[in-house]
Amino acid sequence: MILCALLLAIGYILHYVTPPILGFMKPDFLLSMLFISLLIVDDIKIDYITGILAGIITAITTSMPGGQIANPIDKIVTTTVIILIIKLLKDRMNDKVLSAIVGIIGTLVSGAVFLSVVALVAGLPKAFYLLFVTIVLPATLVNTLVTLIGYSIIKKIAKYEKTAIK
Length reported for the chain: 166
Of 71, 82, 14, nearest to 48 by C-alpha is 82
Residue 124, Cβ neighbours under 10 Å: how many? 18
C-alpha R_g of the chain: 16
| 82 closest CA partner among 117, 42, 128 | 42
Q: Are 73 and 118 in contact (CB under 8 A)?
A: no
22 φ/ψ sector (left φ>0, alpha ψ -120 to 50, else beta) = left
Q: Is the pLDDT of residue 150 over 70?
A: yes
- The CA distance from 5 to 23, in Å, is 30
Q: What is the 3-state composition of the chain as percent helix, strand, coil, each rounded to the nearest 5?
A: 80, 0, 20
In 3D space, the residue among 17, 15, 21, 19 whose CA is nearest the CA of residue 34 turns out to be 15
Record the pTM.
0.91
Domains and CATH numbers, the chain: 2-165 (1.10.1760.20)
pLDDT in tens, 13-58: 987 788 876 666 667 889 999 999 999 999 999 999 999 999 999 9
Q: How confident is the model at residue 3 (pLDDT cuts 50, 70, 90)?
A: confident
pLDDT digits over 51-91, tens only?
A: 999 999 999 988 888 999 999 999 999 999 999 999 999 99
